Amino acid sequence: MANKQTMRKVPAASALAALGDPMRCAIFEQLARKPSPVGALAERLPVTRSAVSQHLRVLKEAGLVTDMADGTRRIYRLDPRGIGAVRDWLDKHWTKALDAFQAWSDAQDEEEDRR
């Protein structure tokens, strides 16, 4: 069947690498807020349209965003099929949480040492 949807396996590493760039991360978060065309993203962020397009291509290849035609424009949004987005959020979350635990726990010990 020509239009059969194929299940894509997205390597998590590429999703993480794609979001390692701060501007791509910003674009991703903008799209989480609201599906948008390239022009609207370029207006909200300090980069050119063509830079936004390039970043979107990387995000799309990583399975994080998807696009659909809307008249002459393309609307980008988070790819709901991709679990790359969820995994990335969790990865960032656990990194932040463990770092916070380490800082807090070590601070408790320093406080005890001072007593």
Chain residues binding other proteins by CB under 8 A are 7, 9, 12-13, 28-29, 32-35, 77-78, 80-83, 85-87, 89-106, 108-109
CB of 24 to other proteins, least distance (A): 13
Three-class HEC string of 14-80: HHHHHHHCHHHHHHHHHHHHCCEEHHHHHHHCCCCHHHHHHHHHHHHHCCCEEEEEECCEEEEEECC
CB of 94 to other proteins, least distance (A): 5
12 versus 51: smaller Cβ distance to other proteins: 12
26 versus 58: smaller Cβ distance to other proteins: 26
